Amino acid sequence: MNEPSQTGMQRAALEVHDLSVSYHLRPVLWNVDFTVPTGQLVGIVGPNGAGKSTLIKAVMGLLPATSGHVRLFDQPLDEVRQRVAYVPQRTSVDWDFPTTVREVVLMGRYGRLGLFRRPRRADREIAEESLRTVGMAEFADRQISQLSGGQQQRVFLARALAQGADLLLMDEPFAGVDAATESAIIELLRTMRREGRTVIVVHHDLSTVPDYFDMVLLLNMRLVAFGAVEEVFTNALLQRTYGGRLNLLSEVADLMHRQGRHGREAR
């Protein structure tokens, strides 16, 4: 095991080594391997079903890896959880849940607090501050079902800010969000990058990739390419990512899925 390296911008925020992930024996990610330096704004791009969300869920330990491993800030996830914030897809939770904007943002502090301990005044102030940063302070007492899609996304971002993380993994933060929120969020992410934080975003709008990101990761079940936007975001590589299905790969995946069902064929 490596020694925890000295502080500094050159240290890797995220290392993914040969990561493979399967759902019910159907592989969805094959041997994904890349390293994200700190202070970068990274877009993960690929067609539907490419495994983009799966990748960040596996990084966050929400899905088990069938092989490979992940290191964050040169340490295993459990050592650095508070430095890493996961921002799930907006639609993954029930927005009719009986709670307020303020309480959701305060949840960003729960991990640090640990079991049984109640949030203190300092925690509440941090939550308030995070709400101000995303421009949602006046909505603090709103019930969350009264928020628009863009406001919901801001609340999730505020929760990640309240956590005080150095690395954010965001799942489709711009999906179903109004233009004003999208530019507000990207402005915030740029500010965070300037402060030396690292932000990794699952993204679906190819047209904004060169404008938004420093680095881009092209994914379609396997890693197609990863690097600086100007080097990797090329027609040829996009063709390889989106052009046709990766027929052989997905057929093999289907085959493995059926094997797992004790050879019972569908037809």
Partner 1 sequence: MMWNELIVIIGSSLLGIGSAAIGCFALLRRRALAGDAVAHAALPGVAVAFLLAGKNPAALLGGAAATGWLSMASVDAIVRRSSIREDGAIGIVLSVFFGLGILLITHIQAGGSAAQSGLNTFLFGQAAALLPEDLWVFGGVSLVLVLGILLLYKEFALLSFDRDYAATSGLPVRRLELAMTTMIVLAVVSGLQAVGVVLMAAMLIAPAAAARYWTDRLPVMIGLAIFFGIVSGVAGALISASGRAMPTGPWIITAATACVLLSMLFAPRRGVLARALRRKRYQRRAEEENVLKAMHHLGERDGRPMESRSIDEIRAVRPFSSDQLGSALRRLLGDRFVERLADGRWRFTAEGARQGERVTRLHRLWEVYLTEHLQLALDHVHDDAESIEHILTPELEQELQQLLDHPAVDPHSRSIPYTGSAPNTTEIRSGEEPE
109 CB-side CA count, 13 A: 22
* DSSP per-residue letters across 64-109: -EEEEEEEETTB-GGGSGGGEEEE--GGGS-TTSS-BHHHHHHGGG
Decide whether 113 or 228 has the Cβ nearer to partner 1.
113
143 secondary structure, DSSP code: B
135 binds partner 1 (CB under 8 A): no
Does residue 102 belong to the site contacting partner 1 (CB under 8 A)? Answer: no
263 lines the binding site for partner 1 (CB under 8 A) = no
Query: Does residue 133 touch partner 1 according to CB under 8 A?
Result: no
Characterize 233-250 residue by residue with b for buried, 16 or more Cβ atoms within 10 angstroms of its Cβ, and e for exposed: beeebbeebbeeebeeeb
**Shortest distance, CB of residue 10 to partner 1, whole angstroms?**
26
Name the phi and psi angles at 84, rounded to 5: -125, 120
Q: How many residues bind partner 1 (CB under 8 A)?
A: 34
According to the binding rule CB under 8 A, does residue 116 interact with partner 1? Answer: yes
- Closest among 79, 61, 109, 85 to 192, alpha carbons compared: 85
Applying the rule CB under 8 A, the residues between 23 and 42 that interact with partner 1 are: 24
43/108 with CB nearer partner 1 = 108
Q: Enumerate the β-bridge partners of residue 225.
A: 218
**Which residue, 163, 149, 4, 136, is CA-closest to 71?**
4
Q: Examine residue 103 and tell whether it contacts partner 1 (CB under 8 A).
A: yes
Q: Is 84 in the site for partner 1 (CB under 8 A)?
A: yes
65-73, 94-102, 199-207, 219-227 -> range binding partner 1 (CB under 8 A): 94-102
Rounded to 5 degrees, φ, ψ at 81 are -55, -40
Does the footprint of partner 1 cover residue 104 (CB under 8 A)?
Answer: yes
Q: What is the contact surface with partner 1 in residues (CB under 8 A)?
A: 24, 57, 60-62, 78, 81-82, 84-86, 88, 92-94, 97-100, 103-104, 107-108, 110-111, 113, 115-116, 118-119, 143, 145, 159, 163
